[in-house]
Structure 1
Amino acid sequence: MFSALRKSLSSKPTYSDFQSNILAGLTVGVIALPLSMALAIASGVPPQHGLYTAIVAGIVIAISGGSKVNISGPTAAFVVVLLPIVHQFGIGGLLVSGFMAGIILILMGVGKLGKLIEIVPYPVVIGFTAGIGVVIATFQIKDFLGLDIEALDGDYLEKLSLIIHALPSVDWQELLIGGLTITTLLLWPRLHSKIPGHLVALLLGSVVAWLLSQMSQDFSVATIGSRFHYDTNGVTGNGIPPFLPAFDWPWNLAGADGKPIGISFELVKLLLPSAITIAILGALESLLCAVVADGMSGKKHNPNDELIGQGIGNLIAPLFGGIPATAAIARTTANIKAGGTLPLSSVVHGLFILASILALTPLLAYIPMASMAALLLVVAWNMSEAKHFIRTIKIGPRDDVIVLLLCFILTVLFDMTIAVAVGMGLAAMLFIRRSISLTNTTRVEKNHEAFREHGELPDNISAYDINGPLFFGSAQKALQVISQVTPDVRVIILDMSKVNLLDMSAIIAMESIKDSLEKQKIGLVINNLQPRMILKLRRAGIRYKPGRIQFSRTLTDGVSIAKQMLESTEAH
């Protein structure tokens, strides 16, 4: 825990290091300010909760985590998970589930699950991220076009149907501002300017919308100020409250019915699946981000400490109105490119957003909702990894393409939890099938070079080569081959030189082979099995028995032992 901070302090940073990290933090703060608001809105909560997340989680995770350069806050990956929670349980339920996810993340870090990212197949990751991108983009069409829809309720297909039926109600004013914003977002990078494109786009969209509203009373678009209202400690207003994040227990906030949601075992039980999903997604996103950051910065993160840091951040953020957070790849990349090398840059980024709340809230209220929707459309496109998605379909093995498409479709039509669970399950089954095909059990020819010392193998001795891991799938395959012995065979040699795995199913299969051969009074020679696996067989009762079960170190020795067993049998 706190490994990134400890490493940073032990490296004795110079004044130049502090200066570059402060500048990097300010740069990322400029990027994170509008993104945090947009992602909060997309998650179904007022924009200030996204800002509170960037402030609290961004600072806490940087100090307590395992990566020096990760920038944490609200991310697009969470949108499809958080939106249903808000609809069903309100902001109070969302913060309680985030609080629970923080506990789960800490337990994952303590349990040394930091290598979690390595067991998730690439098609599963690309499949659900592309699906999330499609869902986010779909939900932004309403504000981008200014469609006359009271609420986007129901599943994805129902929401899509509402959008399609509402297309005739397109508001040209909203479309004008949204189109101007997205055009700027797409064209600005070509200028290679150091000024973030989304900042220019939002500023341009806001200024143009304000000027047009001043020039014509008929021109009006929805803004953060007109869409969101606050009532805090008797102070009411529009837009974002110009106050510091205040401490409050998450269960004191409103549920879906507008009343404090409270805390109970029943609520915890209902929110647990969502909390687990948030924790797993947060872990994957953060560890993936840390791996990318390591490649860019040349530094090394501590995955278990990063999980603990993410857990602490998600445990504390809900106490100050913050929604679930994770490391953000885009903001982390911007941090590294701007010269960030220490957790200080993330702390500065959080402090910048804090100062912006106190100083800029009147101006932030003028940002059009169509501009925020345009920003999220670009975020969704970048998140969809369209190039990687198409490339995997073109060149990927058929099994991986199936997993990719299944995860994508399930994420869009249902939710990410089902998609990842089914995708992981299917990927595991396909991997097992491929692994089974790698294990072969073949009969060794009688004129094999290992038998030259003894001449051709007698007809009543059969040798089988087991090549590959023996586990619950391949063990039965091996059992079927070995069980098909001819009546004249009296001794069987199993060459297990290339067996590198023996699980319980394989041990049971070996027991079946032993029992079957004993009933037929056929001797068994096990050749060159690794000592640790011989120990497993001994524990299961498959041990040395003169004339029945014996072990050899080489195939040549195995033939000698088999002949001795054969002579002993014939003598009796």
Structure 2
Amino acid sequence: MTFNSHLFRPKLLDCLQGYNRQRLGQDIGAGLTVGVVALPLAMAFAIASGLKPEAGLFTAIIAGFLISALGGSRVQIGGPAGAFIVIVYGIVERYGLANLILATAMSGVLLFLMGLFRLGSLIRFIPVAVVIGFTNGIAVLIMLSQIKDLLGLQIVSMPADFFGILNALGHHLHSANLAALLLALASLSLVVGWLRMSRRLAETPYRALSMIPGSIIALVFATLVTWLLNLPVDTIGSKFGGIPAALPSFQWPAFSWDSARFLLMPTLTLALLGAIESLLCARIADGMIGDRHNPNQELMAQGVANFVTPFFGGMPATGTIARTVTNIKSGGTTPISGMVHALTLLAVVLVAAPLAGHVPLAALAAILMFVAWNMGEWREFLHLRQYRMPYRITLLAVFFLTVVFDLTVAVEVGLVAACLTFIYRISSLSRCEAVSRLDHPSLAGHDHAIQAWRLYGALFFGAVKLVEDIEDKISTPVLVVDLKNVIYIDSSGADALMNLIDTCRKKEVQLIVCGLLHQPLDIARRSGLLEHLEGRLAPDLPAGIQRAVSLAAGPDQ
């Protein structure tokens, strides 16, 4: 038995052909830059998810390396993402850390199977309204969850649900820490200000300075101010005891099967969210570098990364837009830059871990606030009036359900709503019209003997009423039905046509079906409908009407 190399072929293998020292230098420079960008984000995402900061770092190291080495994109950077914060926090709160490991590993298996069975392209069929709705909803929840550290509130355990968060914030508002608030506002101002300044620096001889991320500037500033002034604010050291300066070890979770059985929907949500985020990021990267990624290979790489990482203290991972864009703008050309980014973070953990203990949580909260704001597509709310009502309802429903209830529920309802909207739209495009003697003069003089109908669109379960309406209007000895403009028939449509044949037989009406071609002809053959139409078929409408005229003139003609 031979293995098909095209089934699992990382992009790295293709990129190594013709690889030279110049491209290696570009990839190393880009990888170092992305590693610096990923450092504060990885810790912030982990803390916001209810985990220790090293969980984010280990994820960026292990998953980031695997996604780049095995993925289907040249420049995509993998790691922890803001989109996972809400769902991960909910899993940890309800089921515990052990079951988060299990859910993440199971989502990795699902992602790998999705890629193995070539389902990568199907992710593109998820409607934009659903994606925007839950993306904006997640952004709101991230910002809401960071108010605690932004204000320095003394809340021991933050609830996972929307109303619980509001209740906890309201009851502990009196414990706000002015030093934490000022530090957070200063950090946020630095991030925003540096972003604007870097755009100006990019057009000057000091272009290299523009590559330094604002999050690092803010993080270094806040850490130095906290340490020098000995500010009374929570830090990574005071909250989590710092970050271990060692490689993560394998850990087998002592999970409970009683709680694991409830993980099916969270697992599906993790897999679906990871696939959407990853492939959306890869498509954006394609547009920037003029390449085309392999979506199925990317999903398999995501699957491997999410299966391996949680057993080494990590969290769910996916492709990340901000770090991928940074990689491209820094000159990264191959997956090696992503691998260098992971190794850079590994070096930071091994060498500079003790310094992370002085990082204030208020600064990380400010950075996450900035990330969440840029993550949302807020202008879409202003443009809603340009779209039809079903689009508006779907987007707003998914947004509302994501914020108030649960991301899993939001995705389920959003997909159902999108499917129903699609069915309605397609059924409304299908229509039936009577053929008059103005269209076919040969019908003149036979109005009381021949009825002719022409169907358009798709004859599926949402449009079978068109055939039922024809049944109700039968009033002549001969009936002609033209299916030339029907592009698709499903089993319900075939069953409706079978009922029409039975109705005509009972009413002793001669039925002629015209223009049965392509997929409609194939489904008619496979469903047995073609056998019942034997002797009733005509190649096109003119031939069908000519035959109908002969039948109307007399049974012997």
Q: Does 1:277 align with 2:269?
A: yes
- 1:454/1:170 Cα in 2 relative to 1: closer, same or farther (>3 Å)? closer
Provide the residue aligned with 2:409 in structure 1. Answer: 418
Match of 2:305 among 308, 313, 317: 313
The alpha-carbon distance between structure 1 residues 446 and 454, as it changes in their structure 2 partners (threshold 3 A), is closer
Read off the aligned partner of 2:214 and give its amino acid letter: G
8 A Cα contact 2:67 2:301, kept in partner: yes
**1:549, CA displacement in angstroms?**
5.0
Matched, 1:365 2:357: yes
Superposition pairs of residues 145-224 of structure 1, within 5 angstroms: 145-153=151-159, 155-192=161-198, 193-213=210-230, 219-224=231-236
Is 1:117–1:288's contact at 8 Å kept on the other side of the alignment?
A: no
Give, in whole Å, the separation in 2 of the partners of 1:52 and 1:407. 32
Q: Distance in 1 between matches of 2:267 and 2:227?
A: 41
Equivalent runs, 1:452-491 vs 2, <5 Å: 452=441, 455=444, 457-476=446-465, 478-485=466-473, 487=475, 489-491=476-478
| Structure 1 position 64, deviation (Å) | 1.2
1:318/1:486 CA distance change after superposition, 3 Å:
closer
Q: What is the deviation of 1:97?
A: 1.3
Residue matched to 1:139 = 145
CA deviation vs aligned residue, 1:309-337 (integer Å, no higher than 9, x gap): 00011111122111110000111111111
Shift of 1:157: 1.1
Query: Are 1:335 and 2:327 matched, yes or no?
Result: yes
RMSD: 1.8
Q: Give SS of 1:62's match.
A: helix
Residue 508 of structure 1 and its aligned partner are, at CA, apart by: 0.8
The verdict on how the C-alpha distance between 1:543 and 1:308 changes in structure 2, with shifts beyond 3 A counting, is closer
The answer for the alignment partner of 1:256 in structure 2 is: none
Moved more, 362-371 or 92-101: 92-101
What SS does structure 2 have at the residue aligned with 1:474? coil
Compute the displacement of 1:2 (Å): 3.4
- Could you give the per-residue CA deviations for residues 476-531 of structure 1, whole angstroms, max 9, x where no partner exists? 2x1232123353x0111111111000001101110111100110111111111215
The equivalent of 1:439 in structure 2 is: 430
Distance between the aligned counterparts of 1:524 and 1:535, measured in 2?
Answer: 20
The structural deviation recorded for 1:422 is 0.3
**1:516 has 2:503 as partner:** yes
**How far, CA to CA, are the matches of 2:90 and 2:443 in structure 1?**
73
Match of 2:279 among 268, 277, 287: 287
Distance 2:349 2:412 in 1: 39
Pick from 3, 6, 15: which aligns with 1:8?
Answer: 15
Tell me the distance in 2 between the aligned counterparts of 1:180 and 1:107. 46
1:498-537 equivalences in 2 (<5 Å): 498-537=485-524
Cα distance in 2 between the residues matched to 1:64 and 1:2: 8
AA aligned to 1:221 is V
Q: AA paired with 2:283? A: V
Structure 2 equivalent of residue 225 of structure 1? 237
Determine if contact 1:544/1:550 at 8 Å carries over to the other structure: no
Which residues of 2 match residues 333-412 of structure 1 at below 5 A? 333-391=325-383, 393-412=384-403
Structure 2 distance, partners of 1:558, 1:16, is 71
Over 3 Å counting, the alpha-carbon distance change for 1:30 and 1:461 in structure 2 is same
Q: Retained in 1: the 8 A contact 2:46–2:55?
A: yes
- From 521, 525, 538, the equivalent of 1:552 is 538
| Residue type at the aligned position of 2:477 | R
Cα distance in 2, alignment partners of residues 76 and 493 from structure 1:
59
**SS at structure 2 position matched to 1:501:** strand
**Residue identity opposite 1:480 in structure 2:** E
* Structure 2 SS opposite 1:16: helix
Contact 2:488-2:519 at 8 Å conserved across structures: no
Report the Cα offset of residue 556 of structure 1: 1.5
Question: How far is 1:394 from its partner?
Answer: 3.3
Partner deviation per Cα, 1:258-305 (whole Å, 9 max, x = no partner): xxx2464x4542323222211111111111111111111111111111
Query: CA separation in 1, counterparts of 2:530 and 2:180?
Result: 80
Match for residue 110 of structure 1 among 105, 113, 116: 116
Amino acid at match of 2:235: T
Q: TM (normalized to structure 1)? A: 0.91
Separation of aligned partners in 2, 1:531 and 1:94: 49
Q: What is the CA-CA distance between 1:380 and the residue it aligns to?
A: 1.0
Alpha-carbon separation, structure 1, partners of 2:156 and 2:313: 26
**Contact 2:136–2:375 (8 Å) recurs in 1:** yes
Q: Deviations over 1:448-495 (max 9, x none)?
A: 1xx23565544210110101111001112x1232123353x0111111
- Structure 1 distance, partners of 2:387, 2:415, is 17
Alpha carbons of 1:545 and 1:37: their partners in 2 closer, same or farther (altered >3 Å)? Answer: closer
Are the equivalent residues in 2 in contact too, given 1:2–1:63 (CA < 8 A)?
A: no
How far off its partner does 1:165 sit?
Answer: 3.2
- Determine whether 1:247 maps to 2:253: no
- In structure 1, how many angstroms separate the alpha carbons of the residues matched to 2:339 and 2:445? 77
Distance change in 2, residues 1:543/1:312 (3 Å): closer
Structure 1 partner of 2:4: none
Counterparts of 2:519 and 2:127, CA distance in 1: 30
Q: In the alignment, what sits opposite 1:34?
A: 40
Would the alpha carbon gap of residues 315 and 452 (structure 1) be closer, same or farther in structure 2, given more than 3 Å must change?
same
Whole-Å Cα distance in 2 between the matches of residues 18 and 47 of structure 1?
Answer: 31
Percent of aligned pairs sharing the same letter = 40
Aligned-partner SS, 1:500: strand
Q: Secondary structure at the match of 1:462?
A: strand
Runs of 4+ more than 4 Å apart? 453-457
| The 10-residue stretch of structure 1 (558-567 or 18-27) with the greater mean CA deviation from structure 2 | 558-567
The answer as to whether partners of 2:137 and 2:403 remain within 8 angstroms in 1 is yes
Matches of 2:312 and 2:531, distance apart in 1? 67
Contact 1:544–1:551 at 8 Å: present in 2 too?
no
Letter in structure 2 aligned against 1:146: G
Task: Tell me whether 1:121 sits opposite 2:127 in the alignment.
Answer: yes
Preserved CA contact (<8 Å) 1:143 1:373: yes
Matched, 1:76 2:82: yes
> Which residue of 2 is the match for residue 542 of structure 1?
529
1:130-171 deviation per Cα after TM superposition (whole angstroms, max 9, x unaligned): 000001100100110012322222521121122123223321
After superposing the two structures, state which structure 1 stretch, 363-372 or 524-533, moved more: 524-533
Structure 2 contact 99–260 (Cα < 8 Å) conserved: no
Q: Which moved more, 1:421-430 or 1:457-466?
A: 457-466
Asked if 1 retains the 8 angstrom alpha-carbon contact of 2:99 and 2:256, the reply is no
Q: Which amino acid aligns with 1:246?
A: S
